[in-house]
Amino acid sequence: MTFREFSFQVLEPSSQGLMIAGFVFLCQPWVELLHSWSVLVMLIGLVGFNIAAHVPPPPKDAEVARG
């Protein structure tokens, strides 16, 4: 798996999930530990998404060749 494929298949969706999780951590009032780490979780997701967004997607012909 190349870095382009990894970025497209793994890094981008997991970064989006981290940003959503950080927002949920921020909005929930029950667990203080999650609330205190929410901004860091969102920031890690944002940095990962920024990296994934700047990597060009894998070529289309590579996806067709694999089936």
Burial class (CB in 10 A: 0-12, 13-18, 19+), 7: buried
With bands split at pLDDT 50, 70 and 90, how would you rate the model's confidence at 67? low
Residue 19 has pLDDT above 80, yes or no: yes
The pLDDT, as a whole number, for residue 65 is: 56
Query: In what helix (H) or strand (E) does residue 41 lie, and over which residues does it extend?
Result: helix 32-54
Predicted TM-score (pTM) of the model is 0.81
Residue 27, helix vs strand vs coil: helix
The Cα–Cα gap between 34 and 41 comes to 9
The pLDDT, as a whole number, for residue 64 is: 54
Q: What does the block give as tokens for 66? A: 């694999």
For residue range 37-59, list pLDDT tens digits in order. 999 999 999 999 999 999 998 88
Domain boundaries, the chain: 3-66
DSSP letter for 12, please: H
The arithmetic mean of pLDDT across residues 22-36, rounded, is 94
